[in-house]
Chain A
Amino acid sequence: MRSQRRAALVAATMAGALALTACSSGGGSSDAEESADLTVWFMRNDVPEVAQEWLVDTWAEQNDGAELTIEIQDWDGIVTRLQTTLASPDQTPDLVEFGNSQVITFSAAGALSDISDMQEEIGGDELVPSLVEAGTFDGSLYAAPMFAGSRVIYYRESLFEEAGIPLPTSIEELTDAAIALQAANPEGTDDFEGMYLPARDFGSAMGWVFTYGANFAEQDGEEWVGTLSEPEGIAALENLQRLYTEGTATAASASVDESRQPYIAYNEGRAGMFSGLHLMYDEIAPELQEDTGVMALPGEEPGSVGHVFAGGSNLGIPAASENQEYARDLLRLTMSEEFQTYFASDGGWVPGNSTYAEPLAETEVGEAEITAVENAVMTPNAENWGVVEGNDVIRDMMVQLAQGEDPQTLAADTDATVAQLLND
């Protein structure tokens, strides 16, 4: 019987070992000399191929063949990845791209080097203001404006014509048009929806909140207060809910992955409109491109332009990088005319230094994009805003809104959660 007893103990030890779980964080530093072999993190689909090649080649030319390694990261889970890597001198890249709404979290935590003294040199007054604001904490600049971009509305011209629906000129009319288009279903497509607008795409949904003049929080002295349940916020949520429940079919159910590829439903003829980034124009099926019109999100008054979420990225130098001087050189290079112009010519983004935006205005999409960016609004510039997004607070609320839950209650709950997270 002792064998059984021993087997039991071995089993218990095994179970114990398997039960333990934890994550470790690396540490340690060395006093190595600065090296010109740098690593930079860019986010997927943001920096055009040609621009990357130019950067690597130019860096090598200017630094005796030094090697610049570009690592492309995915947006999914990037905040948590940055939290762990940026703290470690062994793992940190030397220059990092941040989503503009995430960068303040890292500036405030002391993860980035102060680059205020470079502000004039990299563009000064020509830098996109919302990105300068995003990169600033406590009066100092921690991350340079890289590029801006915003969502626009794509629509099928022929469907609007066939159904006899005029193009919307205000945000109310946009909802009406989506509902009318869904009811008309001019081509008799199965599962047709007026607009493909997944609630999980909260970046698009923010456009409704901002257009009605609302935002998620404002600062009252030292404290942050949630502001979504003010009348403007409720009006935005009510319109959005009408759109979700009557002008779309899949708003509540589409997954995060699906919400990233809104053009798929559109390309299959299942949607009359969709909201997306300018670069999604290239994803539209060739046979539909001809029939596709683009507009900036319309505003409250007929003929006005709405306020979409100001998308964009900033570039920062991690404080833990051992190659501070070289990293500053590299930052200068990314803010140079040549690199910045690539965003407008090949990336289709509004460059962080707006002097170089010219090539963008030549296309219809680019024009809508510039209009959208000019009127774009930022999420609250609070230290913990990244936490609000990282915890799916806005995303969950939009899904519940699409499920038909009461906007007043949702707004009040969200205000409470946002205030708690921002003041934490």
Chain B
Amino acid sequence: MAGTEVSAAAPVSAAPPVRRRSGRTRLQAFYPLLIGLPAIAIVLVAQGYPLVRQFVMSFQEFGLAQQFGQDAPWVWFDNYTRVLSDADFWAVFARSIVFCAVVAGLTMVIGVLTAWLLTGVRTWARVAVQSAMLLAWATPHLSSLTVWQWLFNPSSGVVNAVLVGLGLEGFDNHAWLLDPLSFFVIAGAVIAWGSVPLVLFLTYAAMTQVDTSLYEAAQLDGAGPLQRFRHITIPGIATVLMLVATLQIIWDLRVFTQISVLQTAGGISSETNVLGTYVYQIGLGQGEYGQGAAVATIMLLLTLLLTGLYVRQLVRQGDDA
């Protein structure tokens, strides 16, 4: 979208200085800030205080007794040393990274391919798919989790019934959630199911903005649909893809609800913890707020690192295009 830029600050340097106008433009320069102010204030109040508190607490001995009024002594890096020298933590860490990479990757691939498919189908089919996706997206986590639990219920679930019906007797009363691998397959499916729609909507919207004359030109040059997708669609929506992928990675890295619910539905928590549930277990479950805060801070640094890498790439791409 080259050349469509209208900068709010532009007139200041461009227009001849007339007293009345310059007053207005100086005010105009503050508009973005004014509009942003409430959002910034909300973020500062809602996220700033807890963040500072978490950071401070991660350097203190803070357990149940401190929660009920005793002094919290400074232990500096003790919490971090304890966490980082704990094999459990590294198991959880590795599990979270792999799980996040697989689920976020899958979500992106399915979402983008479906969106691309939608650009080539009739209106009724597109509307039908979009409506279904909207419903899936709007379903609260806990409701959809209940349905997924029913599907995979060992004794009365549809999945086992169908598999047994197909002659696979081994799936009679098969408990999917007990084995960590199939636990994460189901958890991944639930999470991807809930996040594919947003990826689809955003990328589809971006795809419709790509200049159609480019496709026509490519077609005249003899490019097939796959080539057009690869060389026109993908570069055309790259910015949106980056944003969506970043969000997916962040969300999937700190996933909590789905894992926690599936753990009570049949998963063994010590074998299926990810960073989100691990922080909860250490901090609230064991009343070790200090250590929990340390894990949460490590998690935050990891997220910032990932986000930073993407933002850098994003900004660089903006310059090149």
Contacts and interface: CB of A to CB of B under 8 A. Distances in A.
Contacts of A122: none
Interface in B274-321: 281, 284-288, 296, 300, 303-304, 307, 310-311, 314-315, 317-319, 321
Nearest to A392: B269
A22 B155 contact: no
A32 interface: no
B270 A392 contact: yes
B16 to A, nearest CB: 24
A421 interface: yes
B315 A250 contact: no
A1 B4 contact: no
A387 B155 contact: no
A32 B64 CA distance: 26
A2 B49 contact: no
A21 B254 contact: yes
A110 B64 CA distance: 9
Given A4-B321, A15-B250, A255-B149, A22 B54 contact: yes
Given A80-B284, A191-B155, A400 B268 contact: yes
A235 interface: no
Given A1-B319, A5-B319, A80-B284, A20 B1 contact: no
B92 interface: no
Contact of A87 (B49, B54, B69, B311): B69
Interface in A243-279: 249-250, 252-257
Centre residue among A11, A111, A399, A424 by max chain B CB count within 10 A: A11
Nearest to B43: A17
Interface string A9-38: 101100111111111110000000000000
Contacts of A250: 154-155, 173
Contact of B264 (A23, A191, A256, A320): A256
Contact of B247 (A18, A25, A86): A18
Contact of B265 (A9, A24, A257, A396): A257
Q: How many of chain A's residues touch chain B, expressed as a range?
A: 35 or more
Q: How many of chain B's residues touch chain A, expressed as a range?
A: 35 or more
Given A191-B173, A399-B178, A421-B286, A391 B281 contact: yes
Contacts of A183: none
A403 interface: yes
Nearest to B63: A109
B314 A12 contact: yes
Contacts of B314: 8, 11-12
Contacts of A399: 178, 268
A416 interface: no
A83 interface: yes
Contacts of B318: 1-2, 4-5, 7-8
Chain A interface main SS type: helix
Contacts of B286: 387, 390-391, 421, 424
A21 B319 CA distance: 31
Interface in A90-109: 105-106, 108-109
Interface string A387-424: 10011100010011001000000000000000001001
B239 interface: yes
Given A3-B4, A7-B239, A11-B314, A253 B47 contact: no
Given A8-B315, A253-B173, A83 B178 contact: no
Contacts of A110: 65, 68-70
A111 B64 CA distance: 9
Contact of B268 (A23, A24, A249, A396): A396
Contacts of B270: 392, 396
Contact of A5 (B246, B264, B281, B315): B315
Nearest to A17: B43
A12 B307 contact: yes
B205 to A, nearest CB: 14
A118 to B, nearest CB: 21
B14 to A, nearest CB: 15
A55 to B, nearest CB: 27
A319 interface: yes
B2 A83 contact: no
Contacts of A421: 286
A84 B294 CA distance: 19
Contacts of A255: 149, 264-266
Given A1-B2, A3-B5, A15-B250, A390 B285 contact: yes
A396 B263 CA distance: 10
Contacts of A5: 315, 318-319
Given A11-B242, A21-B47, 19 more contacts: A1-B2, A1-B318, A3-B5, A5-B318, A8-B243, A8-B315, A11-B239, A12-B310, A16-B307, A18-B250, A83-B284, A84-B67, A86-B68, A105-B64, A109-B67, A191-B173, A319-B69, A390-B285, A396-B270
27 contacts: A2-B7, A3-B5, A4-B318, A8-B311, A8-B314, A16-B304, A19-B250, A20-B43, A24-B50, A25-B67, A86-B68, A87-B67, A110-B70, A111-B64, A111-B68, A250-B154, A253-B178, A254-B154, A255-B149, A256-B265, A320-B68, A390-B286, A391-B285, A396-B268, A396-B270, A424-B286, A424-B288
Closest 9 pairs (CB-CB, A-B): A253-B175, A22-B50, A5-B318, A109-B64, A253-B154, A8-B314, A4-B318, A12-B311, A80-B284
